Every structure is written in C-alpha cells, then in structure tokens.
Structure 1
Amino acid sequence: MKNEDHTLKLFYQNLGKLFYAIACIDGTIEVDEINALKFTVEKEWKLTEDTFTIIDSFSWLHRDHDYNADTCFKSFLNFMNTNKTLFTESRKALIVKTANAVASSFSNRNKSELMLLAKLDIELKKI
C-alpha cells in the first residue's frame, strides 16, 4: 500500500473516531445516530472503499466500548493537526455537515453535543 493510500485510510478511520465522539459524548449511542451516519456517508461522501472505513471505524468503536468521546476527539484532532493538507475546505464542510447530522438525529442536539460541535468548528477553522 502506498503511503498516500495509507494516510487516506487513516483519514477516514479518524473521521469514524470523530463521529463516534459526537454520538457518544452524551453517554449513549442511539440507533438514529448510527443510521444518520450511514445515510450521510452514503449520500454525501464520494463513495469509495475507503469512505466505508468511516462507518467501519465507528462500528468497531461502538462494539468495543473501550473508548470514550474525549479520547476519540483528541485522537482526531491530533491526526488533523499532523495532516492538515487532507482537510480541504470542501472536506471540512462535509465533516461539519456529517457531524451535525449525527448530533441532530436523536432528539436534536443536546448541550454536550453542541459543545463538541463548537470545539470541532473552532479547530477546523484553525487549519
């Protein structure tokens, strides 16, 4: 696997971590949040084998239950800050759109989700 391909796969894995963090920040992951993620990825992201890595990573984290929202969010930020060139304006907009879809899918956005979405927005604007 070429280095570029590996980095792109890591990009999508880290997006799975981010969306998992958004979904579990309030302590539970609802079926509606999972469905919103799947729907948005399939509808909005250019479907490739790698984009399904977003859903696979999210699902693995959800099954494993060993990772909390804060850990996953920090991991995403670390990846983002070391791979800034992957975060084009169009990708950043799509990340925000997907994060909002996940957060809004079950009983709209709660306080913890709003705070994490605001942190994400701030961090994305820095790059």
Structure 2
Amino acid sequence: MEKIHKTELYFYQKLGELFYAISASDQLVKEEEYKALVQIVEKEWKSESDYDNEFNTNAANQISIVFNWFDYERMDSEECYKNFVNFYLEHKTLFTEKKKSLILKTAQTITDALGGTNKSELIMITKLRLLFEKE
C-alpha cells in the first residue's frame, strides 16, 4: 500500500515537471502562467486526488510546488519533458482518459494565461497530445 501512495505522489510531482517544461519551453516562465496553474490545481486537480501526503495536504499540491521549484532552479524544459515521458511510459495505468484530458486542459490553460499559446509551447503540447493518442 505504501508504494502505491508514493507512486501517486510521484505522479503529481511529474505533472509539475511537465507543466513547467511546457511553460518554460519559450525560455521564460511568466507569473501569469504560474497563477493559472495554481488556480487549476485548486479548482480541478485537488478533487481528482484522494490522497494526502505525510503533512496531511492534498497530493495535488505537488504540481505547483514542483513547478515553482523547477522555475527557481531554471531547469531545462526539454529534459523535464523527457523525464515526464519516461514516467508516463513506465506508469501508463495511472493515466486514465479523464486524467489525460485534464493534463491537456491544464497545459492549455497555462499557455493561454498570456493571451495565447506561442510556437514552442504549441509544439510541446502537440507532442504530449500525440504521446497520449499513441499509447
């Protein structure tokens, strides 16, 4: 049972890494993108998670925590995206159609925060959509 909880927590951390990768694909994460992420985590992701971490907070909070940390560390967006893909391929059963749809919606919400998706963000979202469709 403990392993399942750790894997689910890791799932949310990897989502934070993915959303950071998409936002940072144009080499700049803007405050509006982070605010949009926090809003959708509060509004939609928290209701998807029925797991609290060891601090009794909703595991979905890991999405925005990791996103913020990766932005602070200025992580490489391509490397972050590859890390997410590897996690996805190893743990496909965690990715229900409903969660895939919410992941794509979240990515689009983040990139639309400044009035539209730019080319580098669009490319990464398209790669993600193709990954989900292929698997």
Please state whether the residue corresponding to 1:25 is helix, strand or coil. helix
Gaps of 5+ in 1: none
Greater Cα offset, 30-39 or 99-108: 99-108
Q: CA deviation at 1:58?
A: 0.5
Give the counterpart letter for 1:23 in structure 2: S
1:13 aligns with 2:44: no
Q: Tell me which stretches of 4 or more aligned residues in structure 1 moved more than 3 Å.
A: none
Q: Give the equivalent residue in structure 2 for 1:107.
A: 115
Give CA deviations for 1:47-81 in whole Å, capped at 9, x if unaligned: 6510001011111101112x111000000000000
For these two proteins, the number of residue pairs brought into alignment is 126
Q: Give the equivalent residue in structure 1 for 2:30.
A: 30
Partner Cα separation in structure 2 for residue 122 and residue 115 of structure 1: 11
Give the counterpart letter for 2:35 in structure 1: N
Q: CA deviation at 1:30?
A: 0.4
Q: CA deviation at 1:112?
A: 0.5
Partner Cα separation in structure 1 for residue 34 and residue 88 of structure 2: 23
Q: Percent identity?
A: 39
Q: Give the equivalent residue in structure 1 for 2:90.
A: 82
Partner Cα separation in structure 1 for residue 133 and residue 15 of structure 2: 17
Gaps of 5+ in 2: 53-57
Partner Cα separation in structure 2 for residue 115 and residue 44 of structure 1: 25
TM-score, normalised to structure 1, is 0.95
Q: CA deviation at 1:106?
A: 1.4
Q: CA deviation at 1:124?
A: 1.0
Task: Provide the aligned C-alpha RMSD in A.
Answer: 1.2
TM-score, normalised to structure 2, is 0.90
